[in-house]
Amino acid sequence: MKKNEIILASASSNAAQRNWDHSATIPQKDVDCLVQTIINAPTKQNETHYKVYYTTDKDLIYKIYHKTKHFTVVKDTTHTSRDGRTSKEYNVRNSQVNANLLFAFCDDWNQDNSRSMIHAIVEERDDIRSNALEEREKQRHFSIGIAAGELILAANLLGYKTGLCSAFWTHEMEGFFHGSNLQLLVGVGVPHPDKDRTEHEEVYNKDIILPSVRSGPDDEKWKFPTFTKDMKIEQL
């Protein structure tokens, strides 16, 4: 594989895909390849930090997508409570979830395969301080991020598009994942050939309650906002 192929795939993975070609089917060999990238993704000393569910079942994927009406379209905090909940009329569903293939990263932990005492006390003691729990959760989230990153890069190397979603409330998702605590959804699939990648699959501008955040005429599909990444990277 040439270096420029990796760079092109990483550039492709940078932008979330918001709509899909639902007539397309991902070959099983590609599904198996992507599953293997998750299995091979590193965690600290191969500790068990998460479990993953995946499906190509269109009906199931749509039902999961239907529970993601938590993407906020407003530009201020007026309609958001202190616990981070924005009134649903100011939200849309996150259509990057409604993909051809969906992965779900959920919490898992196996203390038998962990050597860190700061993790052990979280399991064994009732008098732990918050920093111990924060450290364990940090390790879990690092691991999920690494695996999701490898999955996304691999999918884009195979020619697919991807999108990550955290726009859900975990308790609304438990029924889909055997009661597991969902952390992240990753959609993988074939992009719709005739749509801008930011165009919502179902929502029209007339459905957006605030005219100021509509993206065009009422009879056109609403488009998700997009930003230019502003980050620093420098050699020491």
Task: Encode pLDDT of 16-69 as tens digits.
Answer: 999 999 999 999 999 999 999 999 999 888 888 899 999 999 999 999 999 999
Domain assignment present for residue 56? The answer is yes
Per-position b or e across 25-44, b if 16+ CB within 10 A of its CB: ebeeebbeebeebbeebebe
CATH of the domain at 174: 3.40.109.10
User: Which residues of the chain fall short of a pLDDT of 50?
Assistant: none
Domain assignment present for residue 204? The answer is no
Q: According to the model, what pLDDT value does residue 7 have?
A: 94
Domain assignment present for residue 187? The answer is yes
CA-based torsion, 220, 203, 212, 194: positive or negative: negative
Q: How far is CA 43 from CA 50, 64, 109, 119, in A?
A: 10, 27, 12, 14
Q: How many CB atoms lie within 10 A of CB 144?
A: 20
57 near 35, Cβ under 8 Å? no
Q: According to the model, what pLDDT value does residue 80 have?
A: 82
Question: Which stretches within the chain are classed as H helix?
Answer: 3-13, 28-40, 58-66, 117-124, 130-157, 170-173
Q: According to the model, what pLDDT value does residue 183 have?
A: 96
Q: How many domains does the chain have?
A: 1
DSSP code of residue 85 = P
Nearest to 36, CA basis, from 98, 109, 103: 103
Domain assignment present for residue 141? The answer is yes
Q: According to the model, what pLDDT value does residue 190 have?
A: 98
Domain containing residue 126: 24-191
Q: According to the model, what pLDDT value does residue 130 have?
A: 65
Token couple for 99:
């993909």
Domain assignment present for residue 107? The answer is yes
**Strands of 74-134, DSSP E:** 91-92, 101-107
Q: According to the model, what pLDDT value does residue 115 have?
A: 59
Domain assignment present for residue 136? The answer is yes
Q: According to the model, what pLDDT value does residue 113 have?
A: 64
194 near 94, Cβ under 8 Å? no
Question: Which stretches within 41-116 are classed as H helix?
Answer: 58-66
186 beta partners: 103, 164
Helices 3-13 and 130-157: crossing angle in degrees, nearest 10, is 120
Q: According to the model, what pLDDT value does residue 87 have?
A: 85
Q: According to the model, what pLDDT value does residue 165 have?
A: 96
Domain assignment present for residue 18? The answer is no
Nearest to 184, CA basis, from 50, 6, 89: 50
Tallying the residues shown for the chain, one arrives at: 236
CA-based torsion, 57, 105, 169, 223: positive or negative: negative
Q: How many CB atoms lie within 10 A of CB 201?
A: 16
Calculate the average pLDDT of the chain: 90
Domain assignment present for residue 69? The answer is yes
